Amino acid sequence: MKIRENLENRERLNLSPYATLSMNSRGREIDEEPCDIRPCFQRDRDRILYSKSFRRLKDKTQVFLTPDGDHYRTRMTHTLEVAQNARTIARALKLNEDLCEAIAFGHDLGHTPFGHAGERALNDICPFGFKHNEQSLRTVELLEKDGAGLNLTFEVRDGIINHEMNTTAITLEGRVVRLSDKIAYIHHDMDDAIRGGILKVSDVPESITKVIGHTNGEWLDTFIHDIVENSFDKNDITMSDEVGNALMELRAFMFKSVYTNPVAKSQEGKAENLVKILYQYYMDHLDVLPDYLKKLLEDGQAKERIVCDYISSMTDRFAIARFHEIFVPQSWQVL
C-alpha cells in the first residue's frame, strides 16, 4: 500500500496552488526514511504532540499566575486554541492543515515558567538575552529527546521561529499561525480577565466594538472571517484595514488593562525574582544539571545558555518546588 503517497497526491489535487505541499518540503537537517503512512508535516505534528516539552505546557502560566479556578487558560490550552484557529482558517483557504497544526503545537514550547514574567527575567539576566520563539526553535532542534532534537522539517521550524508580530514565515501556513496566535490570546485573555473580575466587556472602547462586535464570540468570528475573506486565492495572509486596525487597538487595550494591570500582575515581581535567583544558583552549581545538559556543556555550549535551557523548561510548579527546596529552610527532623 502507498498510503503516504496517496495522501500527498490528495494534497496536490485538492489544496490551493499557494499551499505548502508535503511532497515539496525542503526536508530535515538529518535525512531519514519517510513514514509509510504519514506525510512529513503530520509526522512532525505527532513528534511535537508526544514530546515532553509539549506536555509541560499544561503547567505553565498563560496570563494569570497559578490561578485558583479550573477554567483559566494555561500555555497548553492557549496552544490548542491557536491550533484550532489555524486549522479553521487553513481549511477555508485550502492550505495545509497538518503544517499549520505542527507549527501551532510547537510555537510556545520554549516559553518559561510564569509566562512573560519568566521570559523578562531571563532576558534581563542572561548576557545573550532570551526570546521564547528562539527558545522554542532551540527546543525542537536541540533539547528534546535528551539533546537529540526532533529533526523537524524546515517549514515547521521556520513557522515556529517566525510566529512573532515582527517576523514573517516563508509559508502561508506559518503566517496563518502567526495571526491565529494573536487572535487566540486576545480572545481568551479577555475571557480570563472577565472571569477574574479585572474588566468587563463593556469596558472595551466603542471604536473597537462597532467594528468587531460586542461579545468575545463575535470578535473571534469577525477576525477569522476577515482573514479568510481577504486572503482567499491570494499568495498572502491578510486582514482588512478596518478589522486589522481594530485588532491592534484591542491588543493595545489589553496591554493597558490586563497585561500591565497591577492587580492582575501583582505577583509577577516575585516570579521574576524567583527566576533570577534560580538562574544564579544553577550558574554556580552546574554539577546538579541533568546529564543531557552537562553533555551539551562538554560539547561547547555556553553555560549561560544551558542554564536558560534548564530554567525555561520548568513548569511553574517545578520552579517553585526547586526554589523551596534550595532556599527555604526545612523543619528539623530526628532521623
Residue 153 has φ and ψ, to the nearest 5°, of -70, 160
Q: How far is CA 310 from CA 49, 56, 196, 307, 328, in A?
A: 20, 13, 31, 5, 21
- Closest Cα partner for 110 from 43, 154, 167, 164? 164
Listed by start position, the domains of the chain span: 41-321
Q: What is the CATH number of domain 41-321?
A: 1.10.3210.10
Q: Provide the grid cell at 240.
A: 482588512
How wide is the angle at C-alpha 12 spanned by C-alphas 7 and 14, nearest 5°?
90
What 3-state DSSP class applies to 153? strand
Average pLDDT over residues 264-282: 91
* The residue to which cell 469596558 is assigned: 203
Neighbours of 109 (CB within 10 A): 30
**What pLDDT is stored for residue 91 in this prediction?**
98
In this prediction the pTM is 0.96
What is the spatial distance between Cα 174 and Cα 137, in angstroms, rounded to a whole number? Answer: 14
Q: What is the pLDDT of residues 121-166, one digit of tens each?
A: 999 999 999 999 999 999 999 999 999 999 999 999 999 999 998 8
Q: What is the pLDDT of residues 280-301, one digit of tens each?
A: 999 999 999 999 999 999 999 9
